[in-house]
A = this chain, B = another copy of it.
Amino acid sequence: MSEFNSPEIARLLKQQVNFLSAETATSPVIISSRIRLARNLKGFPFPGAADPTVRQEVADSAAAAIRRSRALGRGSMSFNIAELSVLEREILLERHLASRSLLEGEAGQMLHISANEALAVMVNEEDHLRMQAILPGSQLRKAWKMVNALDDKLSGQLDIAYDSKLGFLTSCLSNVGTGIRISQMLHLPALTIDGSIKQLERGLPKLGLTMRGMFGEGSENLGFFYQISNQSTLGESEMAIMEHLEQVIGQVVDHEENARLKLLEQNRTRLLDKVGRSFAALRYSYILPSKEAFAALSGVRLGVDLKMFHALDSKLLNDLLIAANSGHLQYNAGRLLSEAERDAYRAQVMREALKKNYDREL
């Protein structure tokens, strides 16, 4: 099987990643908003306990429901994960359309997405259905409307497991109830530099929230990007969970903005040095490991937020934030690359993008 098989993946690569498509967000701190609902079909064992035939039956029901309801709109795409190459699966992960556990490609594991990637339905991940809406910037309300409409349409076609006392039944207890997970990706360079990110990380669980790296559970913090989401889904309405998260994140955003001002006042040179060296690493290196690339993209983004660049915009930085990932990198190169080749090609992509889009700065 070729690494470059799926015409739909090729189509995705030609468009901007939806959750990073906002050119000017309301807050430079909130990168994207995501809501995910977990649902299961009545009368079928959860995917982890189901045999291949049952999983395939669930996958077929889900596919038919999506088709009939037109819930994903015109130009939607469907992927049978098992038919995708390792590289193509990586692309889906890097675009935040699928989780690692869906991408194992077991029987019946499928992904359905809307043409613009804002809506996605994972089939036979931990639950039968995991629906998500993911949008750029701070748009939780809109994401909720979208995923709620998707849920209504699919529930109209499928018999969803629901307990009048507990709510939606899910494979993992942490999802029972509303089955909702609400999260926002934040860019917190100042809180990272001044060290208060550690306090934040320790404090959030007491508020029923949790903080993770850019690629979700267990992922390393690359750059200064963090995801904050709710931990439990039981006993509160979706709206109450959302309002609570919005309130806490509002405070985090305030802290970050204050910390930036304080850094500018008290450590201006150090801050300029960080931003300048970040730009320099992207613009002039020939070997660029992914960790350094993400940290540098993060540093330059801070500089853009602080109006240190007059031509560079966050659209380009957003594109590079995706292009720096090894799946996208290899796909764009048109072949599989060794780690050393990836580091060299990543440097080339960054260097050329900044050379073309930008000349003299700072």
Nearest CB in chain B: distance from A20 CB, A:
25
List the B side residues contacting A362 at CB < 8 Å: 284, 351
Inter-chain contact B287/A269, CB cutoff 8 Å:
yes
The verdict on A285 contacting chain B, using a C-beta distance below 8 Å, is yes
Stretch at the interface among A55-63, A231-239, A272-280: A272-280
A288 → B minimal CB distance (Å): 8
A280 to B275, CA, bound (A): 12
Shortest CB distance A262–B (Å)? 18
**Which of B344, B355, B359 has a CB less than 8 Å from the CB of A269?**
B344
Any chain B CB within 8 A of the CB of A286? yes
Copies in the complex: 2
Q: Which residues of B contact A198 (CB under 8 A)?
A: none
Roughly how many angstroms separate A277 CA and B355 CA in the complex, as a whole number? 15
Which of B276, B281, B284 is A286 in contact with, Cβ under 8 Å? B276
- How far apart are A221's CB and chain B's nearest CB, in angstroms? 24
Q: Which residues of chain B have C-beta atoms less than 8 A from A285's C-beta?
A: 273, 276-277, 280
User: Smallest Cβ distance from A329 to chain B, in angstroms?
Assistant: 15
Report the bound CA distance from A360 to B270 in whole Å. Answer: 25
Number of interface residues of A (CB under 8 A): 21
Interface-centre pick from A269, A281, A347, A355 (highest chain B CB count, 10 A): A269
> Quick one: which of A227-280 are within 8 Å of B by CB?
269-270, 272-273, 276-277, 279-280
Tell which of B272, B283, B287, B355 touches A280, judged by Cβ atoms closer than 8 Å. Answer: B283
How far is the CB of A265 from the nearest CB of chain B, in Å? Answer: 15
A102: shortest Cβ distance to chain B, in Å?
Answer: 36
Instruction: Name the contact of A287 in the complex, choosing from B270, B284, B351, B360 (C-beta under 8 A).
Output: B270
Bound CA span A272–B343, Å: 13
Contact B360 A355 (CB under 8 A): yes
Bitwise interface map of A from 135 to 171 toward B, beta carbon under 8 Å scored 1, else 0: 0000000000000000000000000000000000000
Contacts of A347 in B (CB 8 A): 273
Contact with B along A320-360 (1 / 0, CB 8 A): 00000000000000000000000010010001000100011
- A sample of 26 inter-chain contacts (CB < 8 A) reads A269-B286, A269-B344, A270-B286, A272-B286, A273-B285, A273-B286, A273-B287, A273-B347, A276-B284, A276-B285, A276-B286, A276-B351, A277-B280, A277-B284, A277-B285, A279-B284, A280-B281, A280-B283, A280-B284, A280-B285, A283-B284, A284-B362, A355-B360, A359-B359, A359-B360, A360-B360
Given contacts A276-B284, A277-B285, A280-B280, 6 further A-B contacts (CB under 8 A): A269-B287, A269-B344, A276-B286, A277-B284, A283-B284, A355-B360
